[in-house]
Amino acid sequence: MHSDERRTTALVEAARAGDAQARDELVRAYLPLVHNVVGRALDGHADTDDIVQETMVRALDGLPGLRDPARFRSWIVAIAMNGIRRRWHEKRRAPLPGLDRAADLADPAGDFTELTILRLRLSGQRRDVARATRWLDDEDRELLSLWWLEAAGELTRAELAEGLDLSPQHAAVRVQRMKERLETGRAVVRALDAEPPCPGLVDSLTSWDGSPSPLWRKRIARHLRTCAACTGQAAGSRGLAPVEGLLVGIGLVPPL
């Protein structure tokens, strides 16, 4: 058992015995992890803080039922993912009319991609990776929230799979597919940043509203496959570094 696991086990056992200080230390230790999982999965939606708080409360209240205290981290990640799935389920219900729909909009001040760039001071290809996440499919977001932390060294693959309630083999397949779409997003970001812009790409974007989306990722990717200039711009003079290498050790986005 690693030192972190021993410390977590001791805190969980003390918290279960009624030690208020141990409960507070668990919150301080795991709030950043939960904040990153939920924040990135929901990309700054106004419900993010509520789900983070709900996750912490459920975890602390459920400590008596945790059979293995050393598994607290994977357990709290699973609780957070359940909260995220409940939110996705609610989102897929019939759309609300009129002003009620405003409650389902993302908070511009809570844009998690922008928070990631600013608070972690990302630049260059690291910044481009963060921006590329905006082009992913909605169903990729919960996977991204865990895989990003795995690549950064904050979670293990076993914890990722457990959080998604998948076998390690199925998780590996989903991660690979998500990474392929992320790589496409990186190419799209670079092509859109090109100076001067590609005339053919500009012509194909006349009806685009400027908001990243999976539909426009696919349309722009079709242009990139047939345009040598855009393909060269996307690759860059030194090529694109592997995503995992860019994310290793970048740390967690600190909660406010």
As given in the structure block, the two tokens for residue 168 are: 């390690």
C-beta of residue 191 within 8 angstroms of C-beta of residue 220: yes
The per-residue pLDDT for 101 is: 44
Reply yes or no on whether the pLDDT at 104 is more than 70.
no
The per-residue pLDDT for 249 is: 85
- Residue 169 confidence class, pLDDT cut points 50, 70, 90: very high
User: Measured between alpha carbons, how far is 233 from 173 in angstroms, rounded to an integer?
Assistant: 29
- Number of Cβ within 10 Å of residue 38's Cβ equals 28
Backbone φ, ψ for residue 12 (5° rounding): -65, -45
Reply yes or no on whether the pLDDT at 63 is more than 70.
yes
| Residue 175 C-alpha from the chain's centroid | 12
The per-residue pLDDT for 2 is: 64
Q: Between the ranges 29-33, 82-86, 99-103, where is the mean pLDDT highest? A: 29-33
C-beta of residue 155 within 8 angstroms of C-beta of residue 37: no
Q: Between 160 and 100, where is the model more confident?
A: 160
- Residue 147 confidence class, pLDDT cut points 50, 70, 90: very high
The per-residue pLDDT for 73 is: 93
Structural class in CATH, domain 1-110:
mainly alpha
C-beta of residue 23 within 8 angstroms of C-beta of residue 13: no
Q: How far apart are the first and last CA of the chain?
A: 32
Condensed to tens digits (0 to 9), the pLDDT of residues 178-236 reads: 999 999 999 999 999 998 999 999 999 999 999 999 999 999 999 999 998 888 776 66
Reply yes or no on whether the pLDDT at 99 is more than 70.
no
Condensed to tens digits (0 to 9), the pLDDT of residues 134-144 reads: 999 988 988 99
DSSP-assigned states of every residue in 53-114:
HHHHHHHHHTGGG-S-GGGHHHHHHHHHHHHHHHHHHHHTSPPPPGGGGGGGSB-GGG-HHH
Is 183 in a helix, a strand, or coil? helix
Give residue 201's identity as a one-letter amino acid code: L
Angle between helices 72-91 and 157-164 (to 10 degrees): 40
Q: Could you tell me where the beta strands, DSSP code E, fall in 133-232? A: none
User: Measured between alpha carbons, how far is 203 from 162 in angstroms, rounded to an integer?
Assistant: 45
Can you tell me the mean pLDDT for 56-78? Answer: 94
Can you tell me the mean pLDDT for 62-77? Answer: 93
Reply yes or no on whether the pLDDT at 100 is more than 50.
no
What are the residues facing 106 on neighbouring strands? Answer: 45
Q: Where exactly are the structural domains of the chain?
A: 1-110, 123-256
Give residue 239's identity as a one-letter amino acid code: G
Give me the chain's average pLDDT, please. Answer: 88
- Residue 90 confidence class, pLDDT cut points 50, 70, 90: confident
The per-residue pLDDT for 234 is: 67
| Residue 136 C-alpha from the chain's centroid | 10
- Residue 105 confidence class, pLDDT cut points 50, 70, 90: very low
DSSP state of 210: S
Min mean pLDDT across 18-32, 137-151, 223-237 is at 223-237
Closest CA to 124 of 1, 251, 252, 247: 247
The per-residue pLDDT for 238 is: 62
